[in-house]
C-alpha cells in the first residue's frame, strides 16, 4: 500500500505513472486541503483505466472531475470549497440549507440505498435492489446537475429511495474496468469475514490489472462481472428492501 499526499502532486501524469499503481482509493475527508491533487488524480485514474474506489469526499471528487473534463462544466466545484461556485455540482441540498443555522445538516448513520438493477452496483451487492449503508457527510450532488451528468455518461446506480440524493456512481465497464464511488462509508460495514463488496470488487480488478494474463475465472467470478454484462443502464429507483450482504 502507498499513501499519496495529493498536496505534493504537481504533475499527476508523470508522478502517478511512476508508482505502478494497480488500484486507487480516494477516501473521505473534509476541507479543501489537497483537493486539486485529488481531482487531477481521479482524472488520471479514469483516463488510464486504473481500478478506482471513491469514498465520501472521493465520491464528490469523482463527480467534480467528470463534470469538468467530460460533461463540459469547466468551473464545476463544491460549495464546501468555494461558496459562490459558478457551477456547484456539489452543494448542500435545498432542505439542508434551510436548517444550516441550527447545526443539523450532517447526514449521519444508517440509510437505505436503492440500487439500479443490472448495474455494477447491483452485481457487487449480489443483485440486491436495496442495501443499508452508513453515512457521515454534509454535501451532495446538486440535483440540478444530475440529468446532464447522466447524459454525459456518468451512472448514478445507487440513490436515496425517495429523495434526489445520489449515493453510488459508476462508469460502464465498456469505458472503465472498475470505476465506482459511494457517498457513504463502506469501511464502516466491512468485517474480516464479510468484507464490503466495493472493496472486494476493487481488489479483484487490481489483481487483473497487475497480471493481465489472468482470466476472470482465475481471479473471481463472484467479484468480476462477465465481459458481456450490461452495467450501463438507465438509473432507476426501487423501494423494495432486501438485507445488505454486509449486515
Indicate which residues carry an active-site annotation.
Answer: 56, 185, 187
Beta bridge partner(s), residue 90: 78, 141
- Determine the length of the chain: 247
Chain centre distance of CA 61: 9
CA-CA distance, 154 to 222, in Å (whole number)?
24
Q: How many CB atoms lie within 10 A of CB 29?
A: 16
Q: How far apart are the two ends of the chain, measured CA to CA in Å?
A: 27
CB of 56 within 8 A of CB of 183?
yes
- Map residue 24 onto helix, strand or coil: strand
Listed in sequence order, the residues at least 6 apart from 69 whose beta carbon sits closer than 8 Å to its beta carbon are 43
Q: For residue 210, give the DSSP letter.
A: H
CA-CA distance, 190 to 244, in Å (whole number)?
11
Amino acid at each position: 500500500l502507498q499513501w499519496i499526499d495529493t498536496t505534493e502532486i504537481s504533475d499527476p501524469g508523470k508522478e502517478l505513472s511512476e508508482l505502478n499503481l494497480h488500484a486507487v482509493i480516494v477516501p473521505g475527508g473534509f476541507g479543501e486541503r489537497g483537493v486539486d491533487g485529488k481531482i487531477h488524480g481521479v482524472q488520471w485514474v479514469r483516463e488510464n483505466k486504473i481500478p478506482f474506489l471513491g469514498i465520501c469526499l472521493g465520491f464528490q471528487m469523482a463527480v467534480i472531475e467528470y463534470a469538468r473534463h467530460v460533461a463540459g462544466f469547466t468551473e464545476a466545484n463544491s460549495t464546501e470549497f468555494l461558496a459562490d461556485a459558478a457551477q456547484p455540482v456539489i452543494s448542500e441540498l435545498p432542505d439542508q440549507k434551510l436548517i444550516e443555522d441550527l447545526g443539523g445538516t450532517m447526514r449521519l448513520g444508517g440509510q437505505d440505498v436503492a440500487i439500479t438493477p443490472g448495474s455494477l452496483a447491483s452485481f457487487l451487492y449480489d443483485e440486491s435492489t436495496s442495501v443499508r449503508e452508513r453515512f457521515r457527510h454534509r454535501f451532495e450532488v446538486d440535483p440540478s446537475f444530475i440529468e446532464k451528468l447522466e447524459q454525459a455518461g456518468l451512472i448514478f446506480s445507487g440513490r436515496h429511495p425517495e429523495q434526489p440524493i445520489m449515493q453510488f456512481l459508476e462508469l460502464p465497464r465498456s469505458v472503465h474496468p472498475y470505476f465506482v464511488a459511494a457517498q457513504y462509508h463502506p469501511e464502516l460495514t466491512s468485517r474480516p469475514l464479510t468484507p464490503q463488496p466495493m472493496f472486494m470488487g476493487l481488489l479483484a480488478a487490481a489483481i487483473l490489472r497487475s497480471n493481465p494474463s489472468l482470466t476472470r475465472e482465475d481471479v473471481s467470478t463472484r467479484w468480476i462481472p462477465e465481459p458481456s454484462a450490461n452495467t450501463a443502464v438507465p438509473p432507476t429507483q426501487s423501494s423494495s428492501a432486501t438485507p445488505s450482504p454486509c449486515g
